[in-house]
A = this chain, B = another copy of it.
Amino acid sequence: MTGFEPFGNSSMNPSAEVIRNFPANLFDKHQLRLEILPVVSKNAGETIVGLIEETKPQIVIMLGEAGQTPAISVEKVAINWLDFRIADNSGEQIQDQPIIKTGRNAYFSTLPVRAIVDKMNLTGIPAKISYSAGTYICNQVFYLAMHTSLKQTVFPKCGFIHLPSLPEQVVEKKQLTPSMSLETSIKAVITALQTTIELYEFTR
C-alpha cells in the first residue's frame, strides 16, 4: 500500500498521513508493506514498478490526494496519458504525452471497486467510483502498477484510491474547499483493504 509525499503548495498529503498512521496491527494475519512515493514523475514510476517486482503482492492499493473533492474516489480506470497542470516536485511539467508509447490506452482497476464503495457508504463514509484518476503522477503510478502487475505470475488485485484534502490543508491554502478528516480517510482505507481481502479470501 502506497501514499504520496506532499506536492504543490501544501506541506501535507492525506495519503502520506494515512500510510504513516495506518493501524497495521488490524491486518497482522497478512504481510503489509507501507510506502510513501515521491511526487516526481520518473522516480515514482520506477519505485512502484520496483516494489511490485520485489514484493510480488497479492493486493496493491495506491493512495493519493484529490484536492477540491468532498468524497473518497475509488478509481476505475488508469489512462496512458500524462498532462500535468502543475510541475512535479523536481520541477518537471509533462504535457500531452503517453506514459508508455506502445502501451494500452487504459487499464481497469482489478480491485472490487463497486463492493468497496458500497461498503464505505454502508459505514457512513462519502465515497464514489471515479472514472478519471487525472493525468498527473497518481494516474501514472496507477497505470504503471497495472502494466507491471499484468506481467506477474500471480496477477495482484490492484487499484488506486483518491482521498480528499485534510482539514488542515484547506486552512493552510486559505481556500475553503471540501476536506475529510484523517480518521475518516483511515477508516475508508481499512474498509477498502478488508473488502478486498474478504472478497477474494486472501489468507496468509
* Chain A residues close to B by CB (< 8 Å): 70-71, 76-77, 79, 81, 83, 96, 104-108, 114, 121, 124-129, 131-132, 134-135, 166-168, 170-171, 176-181, 183-184
Contacts and interface: CB of A to CB of B under 8 A. Distances in A.
A184 B180 CA distance: 10
Contacts of A181: 180-181, 183-184
20 contacts: A70-B176, A71-B176, A77-B81, A79-B106, A81-B108, A83-B131, A96-B114, A104-B105, A106-B106, A124-B167, A125-B171, A126-B167, A127-B171, A131-B134, A131-B135, A167-B184, A178-B178, A178-B179, A180-B181, A181-B183
Please provide the 4 A-B residue pairs with the shortest distance between their CB atoms, ordered closest to farther: A106-B106, A132-B132, A178-B178, A124-B168
Given A77-B81, A77-B106, A181-B183, 6 more contacts: A104-B104, A105-B105, A105-B108, A125-B171, A128-B176, A183-B183
